[in-house]
Amino acid sequence: MPKKRWRQSAGLHGASVVVEEARYGGNVRLAAYDRTISGTRRQSLGFPVRSPSGKLITEAVKAAKARAAEVSAAIAGGRAPRGQVTVGDLFALFRREHVSTLSGKHRHETETALALLSNVLGSRFPVSSISAWEWSAIARKRMTGEIDVRGRPVADPAGRRAVGPRTATKTLKVLRTALRFGTGYPTRDGGFLLDADPTRELKYPKPRNIRRPVADDYVYERLVEVANRVPIDRYSRERSYLRELLTLAAHTGRRIGAIVALQWSDWHPDGGRYGLLRWRADSDKQDTEWWAPVMSEVREAIEAHRTRVPGLGAAWMFPAPRARGSHIRVDVTRGWLLRAEEFARLEHVPGFGWHAFRRGWATKRKHHALPDVAAAGGWTDLKTLRDVYQAADPERIEAAVLEAAPLRIARSGG
């Protein structure tokens, strides 16, 4: 049987502090409730309360209990020094107060990023000590594949999976979001958990050559022509949902992840001129629910699709053929898109995928007010919509050059 460790409580009622052996015969430590983080902090006193033979040392026991009583009195009087906030402290609060409110894919991605950051930085690392060195190290190790998606070291170079700057940036954005959460989290003493975000001046890694292909009408029409030739999987001759997905992607501007997650309860054919689609928060990247009208092409595609895949309520519009209760996966639809490019004899453009249709949808609507386009297509950040999704097009570039108004400059007499 293991030997029982020494442990006692000392101090005032309501602010008692536990003093205990970290291990049998080892140094003793204090365990006190910290109101700043709403959790328990532990601190070693640096001396044992036992002799090498295992007998308790009276003077050492008295000293440990006296120190615990001092800390207890300080807590009761509101004079306890504020402890240094660690990565573990911050992430625990961030998970409880913020991450728990997220849903679906966004919550999973945030939890995965926090696991990576905890493994790389260490849960006991002081938040105030995060600097450009740690920031760069996280990005470098992620982009070179030295660590995996959860921050675990990958020793074998052959097993390393390098990622791009955008993937590394997603992880760093979670870190910055957590830090900014800390700067606004109030404590009982009237202050905030963190005085400042130590990464506020640091930049995210940028890709050298940004590829943002835009799907134009020609590419869309060629892909639609061959869409029915793409089978739903390699075991069946049944056609895929590619034709319907292309129609929704090109005419709603929505992300493919939100499209494949549509349920029949999200389709409201009696709303608006041609119907309304509800884009649920649990399938939205920004955790926002949207209601948007649709074009006649979308209505026709959905109603025709209903005859093939009938359903009610929470039934998926695009169910997986061999996974009951699930919708078709995004990676499967990417394979369909590549297969259709081959059938259409289109040269694959690096970076071309479902997002090209989202860019095309936004670019076609540059003449509309940004807030209206954002609400219809599901953007919360107007700057991102304008700078990332609305691409320049040749016709408008030429118009900007040729359609110049007369210029009249008033000149003062001399």
Give the model's pLDDT for residue 236: 83
Summarised one tens digit per residue, pLDDT across range 10-43 is 877 767 788 899 888 888 888 877 666 566 777 7
Summarised one tens digit per residue, pLDDT across range 139-159 is 999 999 999 999 999 988 888
Summarised one tens digit per residue, pLDDT across range 357-402 is 999 999 999 889 989 998 989 888 888 888 778 877 676 676 767 7
What CATH fold (topology level) applies to the domain 217-398? hpI Integrase; Chain A (1.10.443)
Summarised one tens digit per residue, pLDDT across range 239-283 is 999 999 999 999 999 999 999 999 999 999 999 899 999 999 888
Closest by Cα among 215, 184, 211, 212 to 197: 184
Where does residue 272 fall: left (phi above 0), alpha (psi -120 to 50 degrees), or beta otherwise?
left
Please report which confidence band the pLDDT of residue 237 belongs to, taking 50, 70 and 90 as the band edges.
confident
Neighbouring C-alpha atoms within 13 Å toward the C-beta of 97 = 16
Arithmetic mean of pLDDT, 203-224:
87
Does 187 or 24 have the greater pLDDT score?
Answer: 24
φ, ψ dihedrals at 239, nearest 5°: -70, 155
Summarised one tens digit per residue, pLDDT across range 42-99 is 778 888 989 988 899 999 999 989 888 888 887 776 665 556 788 998 999 999 999 9
Q: What percent of the chain has pLDDT over 90?
A: 49
Q: How far is CA 257 from the centre of its chain?
A: 14
Give the model's pLDDT for residue 386: 85
Q: How far is CA 47 from the centre of its chain?
A: 45
Alpha-carbon distance of 265 to 311, in angstroms, equals: 9
Where does residue 325 fall: left (phi above 0), alpha (psi -120 to 50 degrees), or beta otherwise?
left
- DSSP label at residue 263: B
Please report which confidence band the pLDDT of residue 186 belongs to, taking 50, 70 and 90 as the band edges.
confident
Neighbouring C-alpha atoms within 13 Å toward the C-beta of 386 = 9
Extents of the domains making up the chain: 7-76, 87-183, 217-398
Please report which confidence band the pLDDT of residue 137 belongs to, taking 50, 70 and 90 as the band edges.
very high
Summarised one tens digit per residue, pLDDT across range 104-135 is 778 899 999 999 999 999 988 889 889 999 99
Alpha-carbon distance of 197 to 277, in angstroms, equals: 40
Give the model's pLDDT for residue 380: 86
Give the model's pLDDT for residue 351: 84
